[in-house]
Structure 1
Amino acid sequence: MTGHVFVVGADLRRLVCDDVLVPTDRSLRVTSEWRHLLPDDVVTSEDPDGVCLGLAWRDGERVLRVPGGRAGERGLWLVDTVDEQQRDGEDALRWLVDGARLALTAVARREVSAPVHGRARRLVALPALGTGWGGAAGQRGTLLQRLLPVLREGAAEHGFDVALVLRGPSDLAAAQRVRRAEPDSWDLPEHLAELAADLGERARRGQLAAFVGAGVSAAAGLPTWEQLLDELAGRTGLDDGLRAGLARLPAQDAAALLARELGREELERYVQERFGPGQYALAHALIADLPVQEFVTTNYDPLVELAAADIGRDLAVLPFDEAEPGRPWLLKLHGDAAHPASIVLTREEYLQFGDSRAALAGVLHSLLLTRHVLFVGTSMQDDDLIRIAHQVRSAVQAPGAAPRRRSGTVLTLTDDPARARLWERDVQTVAMAPADTPPAEAARLLEVLLDCLCCLSTPPTGYLLDPAYRGMLSGEERALAAALQQVEGAVPEGATSSAVGEVAALLRRLGSRRTAAGGPPPPDEASAPRDDRLQQQRAG
């Protein structure tokens, strides 16, 4: 049973996983960014620069599990990445990479009864070890070239999945370049590999938009529509007969009855609490990494925008924020838990789609007419989606209209020929696996497909001006980088000219750190959790 290595832009502290590797040194001091992961009883002192832990190494040991935590919580592992012998060159990198190998072996010894939230395989997450205090910050490119094969070997040997979690755009671009040179990085059937290549090309051309359904958030422990109704029913005090009858009603009608029993205020309060900020799933992070500007979701939770914010992408959340030119946006089609009055749940609220919510439908109409929409985590049974697809179909079949291509791709977990046939005029439906495949295995294959799509759609130039990746450049690229650095040095500080702004934006996309003011946090400095700030922005 071979595991897979994912490369993802995310905040490691907020990513749903089973185990986390944290870099440290022989004094067992870690940077302050990891503080909220640590049990209080192992912390002996802390200051703005770091946290000291009251633990101890055994002789020669480089990996130490942090004790404490509740049953079922993810395992936290300390890895010594600070070389006291101050090795040079290849020896130093070999020593760092050996630490990752030892860590994966240690993690494999911990018994896990079931992966988090029903995932098919255990997920172990780590940063690029050694690029902070460890001394490899100036050799990131070479480190990634050495580290990724070791992670693949560990995933193959131990059978779990590994997520290499990176923060900076230069890091992501460089890691994806390394992986593109190794086509065996993804164990995908040929038709899924071809699909990833096609969608990746659309994303690079700016032709792709993403639709995120409830199935994506289920991997973060949030309820599906049916599970939410069952949870609400449990709060009503209805007798068993009525609860059994609820299950036989259409979902929107069951929701209407529950809203009447609980009261609208109680229902809104529960949705706000249940779908508030929290940890996001691997699929959320992979989707947020895609170079697309338009996202749509029927989910109430903020996990897509949190995942995007953690890599420096500030999504405008429509209709609550104002859309701005050049700023990516996320449309909340069924409302937002941060704005409980906007939640769409009952039959009556669905029927209002032709009235007050017609403008929101129009946004998705536009995307289906002008983009290729990638649908992830939805069964396409939602009444709103069916209505919108019908309206778009009617528009493009007007007399005199040219034949149209299908306007989207639906990624489903398992094969459902009847549903695929039903939607074939509007979208292509691609199943991850045959109908008899366990859903968790199919969901994992979907994550692998998204990982491949992210790699193939990532521009291969995002590290060109980052000195830490100079060792990865060809001679031709070094010459170009040297010329661009001359331009970089000529960009005036604080300039307001639109022309200067265009040039600075280009240099940032090519990995310039000098022009990156206001961009994402440096790769080694995970910023403080953004939950409160994001909520305040959206509530305002």
Structure 2
Amino acid sequence: MGGHVFVVGADLTRLSCDDVLVPTDRSLRVARSWRALLPDELVTDSRPDGDCVGMSWNGAERVLEVPGGGARRTWLVDTVDDGGRGLPWLLEGAREALAAVARREVPEPVHGRARRLVGLPALGTGWGGAAGQRGALLQQLLPVLRGAAEEHGFDVALVLRGPSDLAAAQRVRRGEDGGWELPEHLRELARQLGERARRGQLALFVGAGVSAAAGLPTWEELVDELAARSGLDDALREGLSRLPPQDSAALLARELGADRMEEFVAERFGPGCYSLAHALVADLPVQEFVTTNYDPLVELAATDIGRDVTVLPYEEAQPGQPWLLKLHGDAAHPESVVLTREEYLQFGSTGAALAGVLHSLLLTRHVLFVGTSMLDDDLIRIAHQVRTALQTQGPGTARRTGTVLALREDVARARLWERDVETVAMARADGSPAEAARRLEVLLDLIGCLSTPPTGYLLDPAYRGLLNDEERALAGSLHAVAEALPEDASSTAALEVAGLLRRLGHGSSAADGDGAPPDVATRGRDDRTQEQRPG
């Protein structure tokens, strides 16, 4: 069975995957933005415009595997076209790199994922000379990636950083078969949710299942880890499994003490690599997010694509800015974490203001629940309160206020919640949880494609080739407006117009592409080639 090609906004150095392709040249110089993927002992020369790697090519080969012992493997790919060979040469390099990756045996994909995940940028859009041909590159690169995923059976994540890059890639995918192997009912669901997101009617609830894909513990695993630190004897540790999770956590908190418990939470749920699901969720054009997770991975994923997400209740919400409500606390504020039975009971009274935010979303938005089993006591109480509020308004006012994307079919649980939300399962009850989680990622990828505004690249000259005649004429008129705006514009009207032009891709041509610094990526080919020589 073939793999899938995801298009996602993220930072490849922080995206959890098995293999990463990194662009380089014949002198093995790598842009500084990729340094986190290179072992320190391999960097022989460090400069502001790039680091030289202490390896060597064998003849005309274009792909090198960077040695290392971690789960994630880095591959260097020569993408700098010194001979004017153009896009076909770049595309052949991508094929060679993915074929080399396929030859490496991976006993088990990272964090139990169903398929191996290979991440790469839009190769050649930095130092490689394709920066001004991004539209043509995406049109030709995506089929190459789909062919490799089909042939080798792994998943591929094409990771882009700029809004215009993402918008253009999604337009290309909407115009052809994007390879979403989903049944028709999930495709229809993606169309509905994508439309809601475009209209500003969708809010996201992110549960622990999303963070589990990044290697963070589920509730049961968290209790096991705490028990291992507690020093409890075997009999007590065995008895923990028979207690409700909140009561197990209460006993462990008493044994460990408040200080050690807070230290553990801050350490275990601190910043780290985020999952593909985190990135797909953060990419959605949604302004309101709620989570019961303690970790910062949603906001990290959003920050990496330029979305400044306010974390509530610790920061002040800003008009027009997206926000994320940490319903059960934040690892950066470990004293706020809701974990034990007593803390859950206290939340029922002291957390009313936070719960009220979710109440409001359920009444005014359609809430998409991702990565949650809907067993949390607070969620159950909030859903019941919203249902009661709707029923008191008279006959016909009751309605479903959200959609739950469940991994596996659970008829009883779906029936229990049917008055409040629609539950859509990714697999049958006896299906593989890992395959179900992967199907959820594919569904989120399709929702992202269908919800991405189709205009974010309109004024980016690198994507002029994607425009039709009407769009070119409109882009020309808008460029004239951009030139008429004074650089020091400060009036409300001018700032509104400038913001609109930015959303349409104006000023995006200096994006750093596949990782090259903007001051290098925007020079002529002769200068770029000269500077890439070491020494």
The separation in 2 between residues aligned to 1:109 and 1:83, in whole angstroms, is 26
Deviations 1:401-421 (CA, angstroms, capped at 9, x unpaired): 642331000001110000000
Q: What SS does structure 2 have at the residue aligned with 1:103?
A: helix
Match of 1:80 among 78, 81, 89: 78
Q: What SS does structure 2 have at the residue aligned with 1:27?
A: coil
Return the offset for 1:495. Answer: 2.1
Mapping of residues 452-467 of structure 1, within 5 Å: 452-467=446-461
Greater shift in the superposed pair: 287-296 or 51-60: 51-60
Q: Does the CA-based 8 Å contact 2:266-2:332 persist in structure 1?
A: yes
Residue in 2 aligned with 1:60?
Answer: 60
Structure 2: any 5+ residue segments left out of the alignment? 518-535
Q: Quick one: which amino acid aligns to residue 61 of structure 1?
A: E
Match of 2:191 among 194, 197, 201: 197
Mapping of residues 447-526 of structure 1, within 5 Å: 447-513=441-507, 522-525=512-515
Residue in 1 aligned with 2:414?
Answer: 420
Deviations 1:165-186 (CA, angstroms, capped at 9, x unpaired): 0000000000000000113421
Confirm or deny that 1:136 pairs with 2:130: yes
The separation in 2 between residues aligned to 1:253 and 1:184, in whole angstroms, is 47
Q: Does the CA-based 8 Å contact 2:213-2:275 persist in structure 1?
A: yes
Q: Does the CA-based 8 Å contact 1:285-1:304 persist in structure 2?
A: yes
Greater shift in the superposed pair: 132-141 or 31-40: 31-40
Residue in 2 aligned with 1:368?
Answer: 362
CA distance 1:220–1:399, change in 2 (3 Å) = closer
Residue in 2 aligned with 1:46?
Answer: 46
Q: What SS does structure 2 have at the residue aligned with 1:496?
A: coil
Greater shift in the superposed pair: 198-207 or 396-405: 396-405
Mapping of residues 196-215 of structure 1, within 5 Å: 196-215=190-209
The separation in 2 between residues aligned to 1:317 and 1:348, in whole angstroms, is 25
Return the offset for 1:195. Answer: 0.5
Q: What SS does structure 1 have at the residue aligned with 2:230?
A: coil
Return the offset for 1:128. Answer: 0.2
The separation in 2 between residues aligned to 1:277 and 1:298, in whole angstroms, is 16
Q: What SS does structure 2 have at the residue aligned with 1:327?
A: coil
Deviations 1:305-330 (CA, angstroms, capped at 9, x unpaired): 00000000010000000011101000
Deviations 1:318-351 (CA, angstroms, capped at 9, x unpaired): 0000011101000000000000110001111111
Return the offset for 1:35. Answer: 1.2
Match of 1:186 among 180, 184, 188: 180
Return the offset for 1:526. Answer: 7.9
CA distance 1:95–1:399, change in 2 (3 Å) = closer
Q: What SS does structure 1 have at the residue aligned with 2:205?
A: strand
Q: Quick one: which amino acid aligns to residue 19 of structure 1?
A: D
Q: Quick one: which amino acid aligns to residue 237 of structure 1?
A: G
How many positions carry a matched residue from both structures? Answer: 517
Mapping of residues 388-407 of structure 1, within 5 Å: 388-400=382-394, 402-407=396-401
Mapping of residues 235-254 of structure 1, within 5 Å: 235-254=229-248
Residue in 1 aligned with 2:2?
Answer: 2
Q: Quick one: which amino acid aligns to residue 369 of structure 1?
A: L
Q: Does the CA-based 8 Å contact 2:126-2:516 persist in structure 1?
A: no
The separation in 1 between residues aligned to 2:13 and 2:36, in whole angstroms, is 8
Q: Quick one: which amino acid aligns to residue 165 of structure 1?
A: V
Mapping of residues 307-322 of structure 1, within 5 Å: 307-322=301-316
Q: Quick one: which amino acid aligns to residue 393 of structure 1?
A: R
Q: Does the CA-based 8 Å contact 1:11-1:526 persist in structure 2?
A: no
The separation in 1 between residues aligned to 2:270 and 2:443, in whole angstroms, is 28
Residue in 2 aligned with 1:358?
Answer: 352
The separation in 2 between residues aligned to 1:215 and 1:490, in whole angstroms, is 50
Residue in 2 aligned with 1:534?
Answer: none
Residue in 1 aligned with 2:526?
Answer: none
Aligned-CA RMSD value:
1.4
Return the offset for 1:66. Answer: 1.0
Residue in 2 aligned with 1:156?
Answer: 150
Q: Quick one: which amino acid aligns to residue 400 of structure 2?
A: R
Q: TM-score, normalised by structure 2?
A: 0.95
Greater shift in the superposed pair: 36-45 or 407-416: 36-45
Residue in 1 aligned with 2:167?
Answer: 173
Residue in 1 aligned with 2:120?
Answer: 126
CA distance 1:135–1:399, change in 2 (3 Å) = closer
Return the offset for 1:496. Answer: 2.1
Tell me the percent identity. 75
The separation in 2 between residues aligned to 1:412 and 1:108, in whole angstroms, is 31
The separation in 2 between residues aligned to 1:447 and 1:117, in whole angstroms, is 15
Q: Does the CA-based 8 Å contact 1:201-1:457 persist in structure 2?
A: yes
Residue in 1 aligned with 2:271?
Answer: 277
Q: Does the CA-based 8 Å contact 1:196-1:453 persist in structure 2?
A: yes
The separation in 2 between residues aligned to 1:526 and 1:243, in whole angstroms, is 52
The separation in 2 between residues aligned to 1:526 and 1:314, in whole angstroms, is 23
Q: Quick one: which amino acid aligns to residue 110 of structure 1?
A: R
Residue in 2 aligned with 1:538?
Answer: none
The separation in 2 between residues aligned to 1:245 and 1:526, in whole angstroms, is 55
Q: Does the CA-based 8 Å contact 2:126-2:512 persist in structure 1?
A: no
Q: What SS does structure 2 have at the residue aligned with 1:249?
A: coil
Mapping of residues 291-302 of structure 1, within 5 Å: 291-302=285-296
Deviations 1:457-493 (CA, angstroms, capped at 9, x unpaired): 0011000000000011001100000001111111222
Return the offset for 1:122. Answer: 0.3
Return the offset for 1:522. Answer: 4.2
Q: TM-score, normalised by structure 1?
A: 0.94
Q: What SS does structure 2 have at the residue aligned with 1:456?
A: helix
Deviations 1:377-428 (CA, angstroms, capped at 9, x unpaired): 0000000000000000110000436423310000011100000000000000
The separation in 2 between residues aligned to 1:339 and 1:293, in whole angstroms, is 23
CA distance 1:9–1:468, change in 2 (3 Å) = same
Residue in 2 aligned with 1:531?
Answer: none
Residue in 2 aligned with 1:31?
Answer: 31
The separation in 2 between residues aligned to 1:402 and 1:153, in whole angstroms, is 51
Confirm or deny that 1:233 pairs with 2:227: yes
Q: What SS does structure 1 have at the residue aligned with 2:111?
A: helix
